Amino acid sequence: MLSVMAKKTANDDLLAPVTLAVGQEDLLLDRAVQEVVAAARAADADTDVRDLTSDQLQPGTLAELTSPSLFAERKVVVVRNAQDLSADTIKELKGYFGSPAEEITLVLLHAGGAKGKGLLDAARKAGAREVACPKMTKPADRLAFVRGEFRTQGRSATPEACQALVDAIGSDLRELASAVSQLVSDIEGTIDEAVVGRYYTGRAEASSFTVADRAVEGRAAEALEALRWSLATGVAPVMITSALAQGVRAIGKLSSARGGRPADLARELGMPPWKIDRVRQQMRGWTPEGVAVALRAVAEADAGVKGGGDDPEYALEKAVVTIARAARSRGRA
């Protein structure tokens, strides 16, 4: 039966007997489920959907859910946090993989990793369809996600617009996806950075990267305003110190690099070409001594927001002012 199941489960077959959605990104996991449910209901509008947590799938429950019905109805059975299933239930699932029921689509959501790996291995060996749902921790991944969202909706957005949206919204994929949908709905033609700025000025001002950009540009008053807005709207202080560190390090890296085209420097420094251009503009006024002073200020602020001081807000304000002054150190020489 394994070979029969594998034959039925090409990766593009949304109604494969078993779908694995593997990863920890909630939006992608939910989309994997929604795609299967939509396909099932397109085939049969009366499809019965059962959405279960791991503790609800006890030994014997799967057999009940997948037993033949008098009405021969199509059914989608979703099991969340499959890595937490009991050993007996996993054993039952492994047996099911070898003989999946007709008109039943089983969707297993699994966090990945070592826990419950035996279940993953068995499903893969049986030919299960698999959807990757990794947590997007890198800015480049989120940028690629935004570009993909625009492409999926058949719309064009400039690279600067995509970057501005990521800077404004942050790391929440649901909010990024919602923002793309909003822009696509409201704007005709190509979506550019100016459009994103009009829609998300308030969010952009709250961005930790906006705080960092204004600070390394020597614009202390604007950096402090952005900082206070960020804190007031719930941006974590540690996110701001991280952005400050990235901003100062980028200045240091580019100032010590040899001249060249943005594409060549991008490869050398591990930055996207658009960022090379931005950092070049921000570098004016910086000296090596200024970079050293700014890095010390960031380190002190980082210690302050992680418990080394009594007032994280003051620690951040002090760092922002110090960085902004360091950005103008060449002009004072």
Query: How far is Cα 33 from Cα 106, in angstroms, rounded to an integer?
Result: 10
Do 120 and 97 form a contact (C-beta atoms < 8 A)?
no
Quote the mean pLDDT of the chain.
84
139-201 maps to CATH 1.10.8:
yes
- Only one residue has tokens 């995509």, namely 162
Q: Where are the domains of the chain?
A: 18-133, 139-201, 207-327
* Residue 134 host element (H or E): none
Tell me the helix, strand and coil percentages in the chain, rounded to 5: 65, 10, 30
Do 306 and 197 form a contact (C-beta atoms < 8 A)?
no
pTM metric for this prediction: 0.58
Query: How far is Cα 174 from Cα 38, in angstroms, rounded to an integer?
Result: 19
Range from 3-17, 37-51, 156-170 carrying the lowest mean pLDDT: 3-17
pLDDT in tens, 140-168: 888 999 999 999 999 999 998 998 888 87
Would the CATH topology of 139-201 be identical to that of 207-327? no
Fold of the domain spanning 18-133: Rossmann fold (3.40.50)
Beta strands in the chain (DSSP E): 18-23, 48-52, 75-79, 104-110, 129-133
CB atoms within 10 A of CB 61: 16
Closest CA to 17 of 130, 181, 114: 130
The answer to whether residue 90 scores a pLDDT higher than 60 is: yes
Fold of the domain spanning 207-327: Zinc Finger, Delta Prime; domain 3 (1.20.272)
pLDDT in tens, 231-240: 877 777 888 8
